[in-house]
Structure 1
């Protein structure tokens, strides 16, 4: 209710503890939901609600996605403005160095800019 009243464009949730059994109750009118559930273990995960008035798409970076609790969304900029890439990441306090390095690689890939409608990244 607060989200709708405040008119937020983006709402991020970390440590959501959702799984497939919650699919019926996690949608919010006026928002598109992107989520990444924690695989193989209980708890955590990340989600991002994007105002459905914004043109957006989830990015699949094609690297280290199974290691990290992160998701990436490209939001199309308004006329004359560039697109925005939003990442939602959860880093547990006991995360291993190899997972940190995987997250750094993802941040680098998401930041990469080149000509074309998707900045060198391909849509799903």
Structure 2
């Protein structure tokens, strides 16, 4: 979260007018990040961003007006976290017991070049996530 100062970015179309802003968008795509604020804040621009790597991790985003004499909006949001419980007990994953060889083998069976051909980063991530889960 923060003030990224790229007023020329159109988040709806994922486009930008300046080279530095286009590089910023590429960085966001390359790291599979999503920008979750939907409303412009200052003079129609979204400068303060909330970036996440999981689609349903951040929710209830609200703009709360400026604090004091700042020209930035306060952003309130919740980090959503599902807790898995089995018979009343909290379950956690034990990665020490994972079979990463099998994991690598299963992922290696997918023809990724064909499955991801012509897709933008976000769509590619959704295909990968679907296959993974």
Task: Please report the TM-score for the alignment, with normalisation by the length of structure 1.
Answer: 0.34
The structure whose residues are more often helix, as a share, is: 2
The structure whose residues are more often strand, as a share, is: 1
The structure, 1 or 2, with the larger RCO (C-alpha pairs under 8 Å, 6+ apart) is 1
